[in-house]
Amino acid sequence: MSDILTKGTVVASNFQRYEVLEELGTGGQGNVYKVRGTDGDYALKWYKKSSATPQQYEAIQMLIEKGAPSDKFVWPIAICEGDSEDNFGYVMPLIDAKQFTKLSHYFSGEKKVSRFEVLIDACVRIAHGFNELHLSGLCYRDISFGNLFVDFTTGEIKICDNDNVTFDNLVDTDEIWGTSGFMAPEVVRGESAPSSQTDLFSLAVVIFRMLHLQHPLQGQREYEIEIADVEAERDLYGMHPIFIYDPIDATNRPVKGHKDIAEAYWPYYPEFIRELFTEAFTEGLHDPHKRIRESIWIKALSQLRGQVTYCYHCEHQIFYDKDMVQQKSRCPRCNHTIRVLPLRMKINNQIVMLNHDSVIYKNQLDASSLMDYETPVARIEIHPKHPSVWGLRNLSEETWTYTTPANELREISKNGVIPIRSGQEINFGEIIGIIR
């Protein structure tokens, strides 16, 4: 059987036969096809003979036996074999191309995103996916935009090309795994094999690029490269990597008019997010043990989501910061001073903005539910007849209490609405929210 499969070709696993319907894509290791089995449509990755090694076969078998860490992963289901030992592939779930878009299309400008919440939600889910993978004792080895798909309506994600995944205990460094620009510096230099620690560096690169549309190491130094060859990339990403916003070394700042798209975002993110990226690409750039864990990203990104608000002059989405209270902040789009802010709620040491469309999730109220970022517990609602009257609807199973202006204590159970006003305290059970 050939390296290339044609329409109508039939391959078989131990469980069923699959007919090739069409080619979906090509890659260095092989081609991916849409196939039809007896119980529906799937994707089939069929290896070139140069990649169809006994080691690769064993790796796919291991992944099938271990099972997917979660439904975020497009995981191998079964091996299909050809007419020789170096002729095989594997079947996996088929990604809905109408729902999910390859992340690279967002960076090419083919896919436009108008709301920060979608990007933040996708970042949270990507971080959670790799947390699930690492907790199962595996590492990915090749995190990049080509392997990540996003639903740009909901922020849901899919992680594909999981034949890159292996146990987190590699010792052989002869072969460098990864994609240029995403590999940790020590992998680029050939000093370390991919691991969960190097995955954390790649994850930080993905999150930074999703929120800034620029690579964290591509500034003045990349702009000055005359010949973009292997040695130039090795120097930029491995030998002398410098964060474009390094607080001490300013030699790799964004280049105005050429390599500066991050400038439209970086100054406007809250300080705690900028500090986290700075840590990831200064200390974490050189010390694998000081990289940002997935749980820290999830906590910070969930907090960032709660601080999305609006410039009520041009309706552009912005992020709350303390300077807005003193009217020292300007909108990055219309340059007007931010003079109007919605009410905001302080929960422990974080701020959640109460916009007209705000939804509060469980992990924003309950620190012990860090990974529960999808369960809504409250949302803002505007009185249909009195637009100046806003309320907070209880979507949770818990009963909340609050004190009215007449100093009466009231309870609000599921689907009840609390009229909100400045100075009001809401008791969510073990957590108190203070509205300002």
pLDDT value at residue 175: 55
Tell me the torsion sign for CA atoms 245, 247, 249, 251.
Answer: positive
Q: Are 273 and 304 in contact (CB under 8 A)?
A: yes
The predicted pLDDT at position 232 comes to: 93
CATH 3.30.200.20 corresponds to the domain 10-92 = yes
pLDDT at res. 369: 92
Q: Place 84 in a pLDDT band, splitting at 50, 70 and 90.
A: confident
pLDDT digits (tens, 9 = 90+) for 197-253: 999 999 999 999 999 999 999 999 999 998 889 999 999 999 999 999 999 999 999
Residue 417: left if φ>0, alpha if ψ -120 to 50, beta else—which one?
A: beta
- The tens digit of pLDDT for each residue in 23-53 reads 998 888 899 999 999 999 999 999 998 889 9
- Residue written as token pair 């931010």: 338
User: What does the DSSP assignment read for 77-139?
Assistant: -EEEE-SSTT-EEEEEPPP-TTT-EEHHHHHTTSS----HHHHHHHHHHHHHHHHHHHHTTEE
**What is the CB-side half-sphere exposure of residue 2 using CA atoms within 13 A?**
6
Assess contact for 35 and 18: CB atoms under 8 A: yes
Burial level of 23, CB count in 10 A (0-12/13-18/19+)? middle
Query: Is the Cβ–Cβ distance between 276 and 300 less than 8 Å?
Result: yes
Tens-place pLDDT, residues 110-163: 888 989 999 999 999 999 999 999 999 999 988 888 899 999 999 999 999 999
Residue 273 clears pLDDT 90, i.e. is over it: yes
Locus of tokens 């798209």 = 261
**Element at 417 (helix H, strand E):** strand 417-419
Percent share of the chain, pLDDT over 70: 98
Confidence grade of residue 170 (pLDDT, cut at 50, 70, 90): low
Which residues have a Cβ under 8 Å from the Cβ of 133 and sit 6 or more positions away?
A: 69, 73, 139, 140, 165, 199
Q: What is the DSSP string of 172-235?
A: --SS--S-TTTS-HHHHTTSS---HHHHHHHHHHHHHHHHHSS-TT-SHHHHT-SS--HHHHHI
Q: Distance (Å, rounded) from C-alpha 395 to C-alpha 393?
A: 6
Residues 6+ apart with CB under 8 A from 44: 5, 11, 18, 20, 32, 33, 34, 35, 80, 89, 90, 91, 92
**8 A C-beta contact, residue 206 and residue 148:** yes
Is residue 298 a contact partner of residue 371, using CB atoms and an 8 Å limit?
A: yes
If we measure between CA atoms, which residue out of 72, 200, 198, 182 comes closest to residue 125? 72
Query: What class does CATH assign to 101-298?
Result: mainly alpha
Report the helix count and the strand count for the chain, using DSSP H and E. 11, 23
Judged against a pLDDT cut of 80, whether residue 177 lies above it is answered with no
- The 10 Å Cβ neighbour count of residue 208 is 25
**Domain 101-298 matches domain 342-436 at the CATH topology level:** no
Distance CA 47, CA 4 (A): 9
315: left (phi > 0), else alpha (psi -120 to 50), else beta?
A: left
What are the start-end ranges of the E strands in 14-57?
Answer: 17-26, 30-37, 40-47
User: What does the pLDDT read at residue 224?
Assistant: 93
pLDDT value of position 173: 45
Q: What is the per-residue pLDDT across 331-384, written as a single tens digit (0 to 9) for each?
A: 999 999 998 888 999 998 899 999 999 999 999 998 889 999 999 999 999 999
- For the chain, the structural domain boundaries read 10-92, 101-298, 342-436
Confidence of residue 169 (pLDDT cuts 50, 70, 90): low
Under CATH, which number does the domain 342-436 receive? Answer: 2.60.200.20
pTM: 0.95
Q: pLDDT-derived band of residue 171, with 50, 70 and 90 as boundaries? A: low
**pLDDT mean across residues, the chain:** 93
Per-residue b/e over 110-122, b at no fewer than 16 CB within 10 Å?
eeeeeebbbbbbb
